[in-house]
Amino acid sequence: MDDPAAVRILAFDVFGTVADWHSGITAAVAAEGLPVDAAEFARAWRAGYAPVLARVRAGELGWTKLDALHRLILDDLLPRFDIPDLGEEQRRRLVHAWHRLDPWPDVVAGLTRLRAKYLLCTLSNGHLALLARLANHGGLPWDCLLSAEVFRQYKPEPAVYHGVASVFDVPEAEVMLVAAHHDDLAAARVCGLRTAYVERPHEFGADAPKDVSPVAENSLHVRDFAELADVLGC
Amino acid sequence: MDDPAAVRILAFDVFGTVADWHSGITAAVAAEGLPVDAAEFARAWRAGYAPVLARVRAGELGWTKLDALHRLILDDLLPRFDIPDLGEEQRRRLVHAWHRLDPWPDVVAGLTRLRAKYLLCTLSNGHLALLARLANHGGLPWDCLLSAEVFRQYKPEPAVYHGVASVFDVPEAEVMLVAAHHDDLAAARVCGLRTAYVERPHEFGADAPKDVSPVAENSLHVRDFAELADVLGC
C-alpha cells in the first residue's frame, strides 16, 4: 500500500518535531526571572496554541502570524500565573524566544544525510519569517520553507497537505510528512501523503514524558532523524 | 543614505546571480546532440524569457510556473534553429536542465559566511519547486525561498520587493537585494531596498563577456560572494 520507495519529498512539521520548543521556552522564561515554574509555564503557553488556532480556523480571527498568536496566548496566560503586569519589553522578548529554539541534537546531521536523496521542506503553521529565523539559528539545511502562510490556511486543513504536492507538481504519494504528532500525520494520510512518526518523548520536557507508541497506519515509525535516514537508505 | 549597516536580510536574485544558467543549459543542449551552436542556443533560450514574461505581466497569460514559460520559449525556438521536430521526451529533459544548474564556484562558501550574520532568502521569478531543486542540487544554505510564486507577481513589480520586507516584518531599508542585473536592482531601490551588484562577467558564456561596470546608485559593487562577505564583515 504505502511503499516509501516512491517518496521524493520529505515535509517536516517543525515545533516539537524539529525544534525543541520546551527547552527553549523554559530557558527564556527562567532567564526573564518570572516567578513561575518555567517548565510548567512553557507547557501552558504551548497548550494555548490549539484553542487559539481553532478560533483562527473558525474565522473568528483572520489569517494571523504565529508571533501574534503567541502574544495573544501569553497575554492571556500571565494573569493566570499571577503576573498580570509584565512589561511590554519582556513580553516582546518572550515571544521572540520562539525564533531561537534549538533543533533536537539529531536534526542537522539527519537532514544533511536525507538531503542527498530527498527534497526537504518544512510544513508548519509557523509563518515564514519565524521558520526562516529558526533555520538560520539552527543551521537547518532546508530546500524550501512551506507554511500556513504560503497557503493562507492552517494544518490540519486538507489544502495544506495537498498544497505540498501541488507546489512540487507531484502525486501526493510522493510526499511524506514527518512529524511527532499522530493527529497531524492522520490528517496528511487522508490526503494521500505517506507518514513518518518521530518519537520525541521529551517534547513537553524531561519531567513530562509523552506516550510515543506506534500507530499502525503510519508508513514509518522512527526514534529520530538518524534512524529515519537509516531506514530510507541515506 | 544607504548605510548597509542597517541591513539584516539579504535577498538574492537566482538566475545569473547564484546559478550559472549558461554553462548548465549549454551542456544540456550539447548532451542532447542538437545540431546547433549550444552556447548560442542557450543564450537565445534565455533571451526569450523577458518577452514571454512581459506577456504574463500584461495579463495575456495567467500566473505561470517558469517550467511552463521555459517550454513555451523552447517550442518557439526550435523551428527558428531548424529543428522543429524534436521529440517530447527531449523537450522535457531540456526544460528540466533548468532544475540542475550549478551555482557559481564562490556561492556556497560565500552564502555560508553570510548566513552567520544575515537571514538569506531568494527573490526570483522562478517558482518554488524549481528554486528548491536548485537549492538541493547545489547544497545552497538558504533560510527561506521567496519567489514570484509567493507573491503571485513577478519582478520588477514593486509588490515583490516590498513583499520581502512585509514577510519579515522589517523596514525596506533592512533588506538588501543582491543581483547581477542593474535593472532588477534599480526596481528594488525605488522600493527602498539596499542594493548590491555582483559582477558575473560570464553570465552569457565565456565567449560573450558582459559589461559589469558599476552604477553609482548601488549600495555595494562586488566581484563575487566572497567579496560580498568580506565587505559585510562576515
pLDDT digits (tens, 9 = 90+) for A132-182: 999 999 999 999 999 999 998 899 999 999 999 999 999 999 999 999 999
Of A145, A149, A168, the CB nearest to B145: A145
Average pLDDT of the residues of chain B: 95
Terminal CA-to-CA distance of chain A, rounded, Å?
22
Residues A144, B150: C-beta atoms closer than 8 Å: no
How many Cα atoms within 13 Å fall on the side-chain side of residue B39?
8
Q: Which three cell numbers stand for residue A85?
A: 503586569
CATH number assigned to the domain covering B4-20+101-231:
3.40.50.1000
A3 pLDDT tier (thresholds 50, 70, 90)? low
What's the confidence (pLDDT) of residue A162? 98
Does the domain at B21-99 match CATH 3.20.20.100? Answer given as no
Q: In this model, does residue A234 exceed pLDDT 50?
A: yes
Q: Does B131 touch chain A (CB under 8 A)?
A: yes
**pLDDT tens digits, A99-138:** 999 999 999 999 999 999 999 999 999 999 999 999 999 9
Give the whole-angstrom CA distance, residue A126 versus residue A149: 8
Query: What ipTM goes with this model?
Result: 0.94
Name the minimum distance, in Å, from the CA of A49 to any CA of chain B.
22
Percent with pLDDT over 90 in chain A: 91
Residue B57 has pLDDT above 90, yes or no: no
Q: Looking at CA atoms only, how far is residue B36 from chain A in angstroms? A: 31
Put simply, whether B68 touches A (Cβ < 8 Å) is no
Q: What is the pLDDT of residue A2?
A: 57
Confidence (pLDDT) at A37: 96
φ/ψ bin of B12: left (φ > 0), alpha (ψ from -120 to 50), beta (otherwise): beta
Residue B87 burial class via C-beta count within 10 angstroms: exposed 0-12, middle 13-18, buried 19 and up: exposed
Determine contact: B158 vs chain A, CB below 8 A: no
**Are B4-20+101-231 and B21-99 the same fold in CATH?**
no
Enumerate the domain spans of chain B: 4-20+101-231, 21-99
Give B133's contacts in chain A (Cβ within 8 Å).
Answer: 119, 143
Place of cell 513537553: A204
